[in-house]
């Protein structure tokens, strides 16, 4: 029975018009996408985002793997935007109730018993569920990818 599904799946993959990937890295994160027609002409033709950086840094193909949550644990910002906002909050000493995670992927290596209830500690040792931190990071990158497609009128 499983072998009869393989041709159907292979045919569906051949019909894909676009492929997208998210690179959720330890230090930097980003995404890329490619269209089948572009791939057939030039496999190296890939679209990525040009991240706007603060503090006089040049544009980058990836953004920092940092995430900032408000005191009520709702998502605020990701990447260079999170770094800049947190720095502003800290300069005014208004950062104490906020949650700031930098290189949070590495925090998982400290815990040998990972489960859905795993907690991560931010830069001030305040805890939030790892599931929330990673979910919001991936959601942000996905939304940015969709926005790139909309801005470039790609019709997807």
Distance, CA of 99 to CA of 134 (rounded, Å): 13
Mean pLDDT of all residues in 11-32: 79
- For residue 101, the cross-strand partners are 67
- For residue 77, the cross-strand partners are 68
Q: How does DSSP classify residue 59?
A: P
* pTM, 2 dp: 0.80
Which positions ≥6 away from 131 have C-beta within 8 Å? 116, 118
Q: How does DSSP classify residue 131?
A: H
Distance, CA of 1 to CA of 5 (rounded, Å): 7
Show me where the domains of the chain are located: 2-151
> Measuring CA to CA, how many Å separate 135 from each of 11, 37, 53?
31, 32, 23
Residue 57 reports pLDDT greater than 80: no
How do residues 90-138 score in pLDDT, each as one tens digit?
999 999 999 999 988 877 777 778 888 889 999 999 999 999 999 999 9
């Amino acid at each position: 029975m499983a072998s009869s599904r393989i041709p159907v799946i292979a045919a569906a993959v051949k019909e894909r018009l676009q492929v997208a990937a998210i690179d959720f890295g330890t230090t930097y994160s980003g995404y890329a996408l490619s269209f089948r027609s572009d791939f057939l002409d030039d496999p190296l033709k890939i679209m990525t985002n040009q991240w706007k950086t603060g503090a006089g840094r040049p544009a980058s193909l990836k953004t920092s793997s940092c995430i900032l949550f408000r005191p009520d644990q709702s998502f605020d910002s990701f990447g260079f935007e999170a770094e800049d906002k947190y720095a502003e909050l800290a300069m005014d000493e208004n950062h104490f109730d906020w949650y700031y995670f930098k290189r949070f992927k590495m925090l998982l290596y400290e815990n040998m018993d990972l489960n859905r209830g795993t907690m991560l500690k931010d830069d001030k040792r305040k805890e939030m569920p790892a599931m929330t931190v990673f979910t919001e990071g991936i959601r942000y990158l996905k939304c940015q990818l969709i926005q790139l497609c909309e801005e470039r009128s790609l019709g997807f």
